Amino acid sequence: MLTRLTLLLLVVLTLEMRIAAQPAQAPTAAQKKVTVVRAGRLIDPETGSAIANAVIVVENDRITQVGPNVTTPPGAEVIDLSKLTVLPGLVDAHTHLGITYKEFPENNIYYLTYVLESTPLRAIQASSNALQMLNSGFTVVRDVGNNALYVDVALRMAIEQGWMPGPTIIPSGPIIGGTGGQFSPTPEMFQQHKIVYPEYIDADTHDEIIKAVRQNLLFGAKVIKICVDCKPWGYSVDDMKLFVAEAAKGGAKVDGHVQTPEGAQRAIDAGIYVISHGRALSPEHHKQMAQKGIYLASTDTPFTPYRGSEAAFQDTVAKLQSAHANKVLLTFSTDMDYWNERMKNDKGEWLTRGDLTINFLQTWRAAKIPAKDILKALTITGYQAADVIRERGPIKPGMFADFIAVPGNPLEDIDAVRNVQFVMKNGQVFKRDGVMTIDKLLHPGPIYGWNRR
Ligand SMILES: [Zn+2]
């Protein structure tokens, strides 16, 4: 006999299944919104070329037509960007929106941030960072760990469901590493597995690796981030091949934090998808990565009044130059996850997370990499590394309408992308005439569907 509770549960479950079966946001003809964007110049970063006076037609969230000879459909809203250059949105291929460690009180020891700041607080910081990134033209962000208990996944869901605008987040969930992860927890921390442990999942054996990957996929990770060589025991080539195979079952790729030459070689031999951090890589590693098609997110910190040293900077520049000369698939990547009182411009105004992120261009300029190659790293290669390029990135029919506009020509002067005047994300205008217009993009509920992941 069914109890009333069981009956109620059945009803709820049936309802949930019906809702889950509905396609997310299927617009009817009556709802169709058509926007026409007139671009003074339209850049294709894939080929490093541009055309003048192009027209982009956007229907709801997708691009339907692009070219110089497109007629304006009747009833369309026209956005005039004829004085600007239009290009795809930018990608930061390695960052952490859910952590900001500081000089005070933690003395830049991000270990302490985990102790001092809760998951909910860091989730709210991540939301603010997401808006700041989109304001600077970043429409895709690979968010690879150090996000407390799945802040990155929650941020993705909030944006996908329509609570707030933001970049497309590619979250990893907690980083998976051998015992201890990237840290050296005290015995007290280790026994309780409460402090610091939201940040890392310990997985030593093959059974533990499979379980850790499945756990992250279950909770919404879109990429699997691992510590290749954070500890002397690190991961072997076989371990990493297992990560790759298990992640593939959930449609995810593997990104490895690498900090030693030996770890780099094992990661290359295992054929992981992205290597994070470039410090340990030699020209020989670069050659092998290019040959195997492994993406590099080298996190190239510039030397600024608020961060870095001249010596470290010169080394970073030389490594980036070697990677470029050896034709590695380069992404623009930062690890921009800290803050201090010196992060201000000449007028004494605070730099945003987006300003601080795009300022990593300094390193690329110092490495004398041609503007068109930098622009490709900032867009196309980033979309490939984020594994979204089949639906997002290039300004072509069928793609999500994510693009930005700047004065000047970034193919000649890459610093033009520091001055983003217009941002469209999923067909919605987020920034216009240099001003964020988010009033119509904040919602009191998940307007695209509560079950979007
Ligand atoms: Zn990082």
pLDDT for 110 equals 87
Judge whether residue 8 has pLDDT over 60: no
Spell out which residues have Cβ within 5 A of ligand 1, the ion. Answer: 335
pLDDT-derived band at 4, boundaries 50, 70, 90: low
Distance (Å, whole) CA 284 – CA 296: 14
Task: Give residue 104 CA to ligand 1 midpoint distance, Å.
Answer: 20
Task: Give residue 2 CA to ligand 1 midpoint distance, Å.
Answer: 52
Residue 383 is encoded by which pair of tokens?
A: 């979309």
pLDDT-derived band at 413, boundaries 50, 70, 90: very high
Whole-angstrom Cα Rg for the chain: 22
Model pLDDT for residues 140-184, shown as the tens digit of each residue: 999 999 999 999 999 999 999 999 999 999 999 999 999 888 887
Strand order of the β-sheet with 90-95 is 90-95, 138-143, 168-171
Task: Give residue 90 CA to ligand 1 midpoint distance, Å.
Answer: 18
pLDDT-derived band at 56, boundaries 50, 70, 90: very high
**Cα–Cα–Cα angle for 108, 360, 321, rounded to 5 degrees:** 115
Task: Give residue 145 CA to ligand 1 midpoint distance, Å.
Answer: 7
Judge whether residue 196 has pLDDT over 70: no
Task: Give residue 226 CA to ligand 1 midpoint distance, Å.
Answer: 11
Model pLDDT for residues 14-44, shown as the tens digit of each residue: 444 444 444 445 445 557 999 999 999 999 9
Task: Give residue 276 CA to ligand 1 midpoint distance, Å.
Answer: 7
Task: Give residue 365 CA to ligand 1 midpoint distance, Å.
Answer: 22
pLDDT for 20 equals 42
Task: Give residue 334 CA to ligand 1 midpoint distance, Å.
Answer: 8
pTM for the structure as a whole: 0.93
Task: Give residue 413 CA to ligand 1 midpoint distance, Å.
Answer: 28
Residue 129 is encoded by which pair of tokens?
A: 């960072």
Task: Give residue 146 CA to ligand 1 midpoint distance, Å.
Answer: 8
φ and ψ of 275, to 5 deg: -105, 125
Convert the chain into a string of H (helix), E (strand) and C (coil): CCCHHHHHHHHHHHHHHHHHHCCCCCCCHHHCCEEEEEEEEEEECCCCEEEEEEEEEEECCEEEEEECCCCCCCCCEEEEEEEEEEEECEEEEEECCCCCEECCCCCCCHHHHHHHCCHHHHHHHHHHHHHHHHHCCEEEEEECCCCCCCHHHHHHHHHHHCCCCCCEEEECCCEEECCCCCCCCCHHHHHHCCCCHHHEEECCCHHHHHHHHHHHHHCCCCEEEEECCCCCCCCCHHHHHHHHHHHHHCCCEEEEECCCHHHHHHHHHHCCCEEECCCCCCHHHHHHHHHHCCEEECCCCCCECCECCHHHHHHHHHHHHHHHHCCCEECCCCCCCEECCCCECCCCCECCHHHHHHCCHHHHHHCCCCHHHHHHHHCHHHHHHCCCCCCCCCCCCCCECCEEEECCCCCCCHHHHHCCCEEEECCEEEEECCEECHHHHCCCCCCCCCCCC
Judge whether residue 225 has pLDDT over 50: yes
Task: Give residue 422 CA to ligand 1 midpoint distance, Å.
Answer: 29
Task: Give residue 143 CA to ligand 1 midpoint distance, Å.
Answer: 8
Task: Give residue 162 CA to ligand 1 midpoint distance, Å.
Answer: 27
What residue type is 17 in one-letter code?
Answer: M
- Average pLDDT, rounded, for the chain: 93
pLDDT for 333 equals 98
Model pLDDT for residues 236-269, shown as the tens digit of each residue: 999 999 999 999 999 999 999 999 999 999 999 9
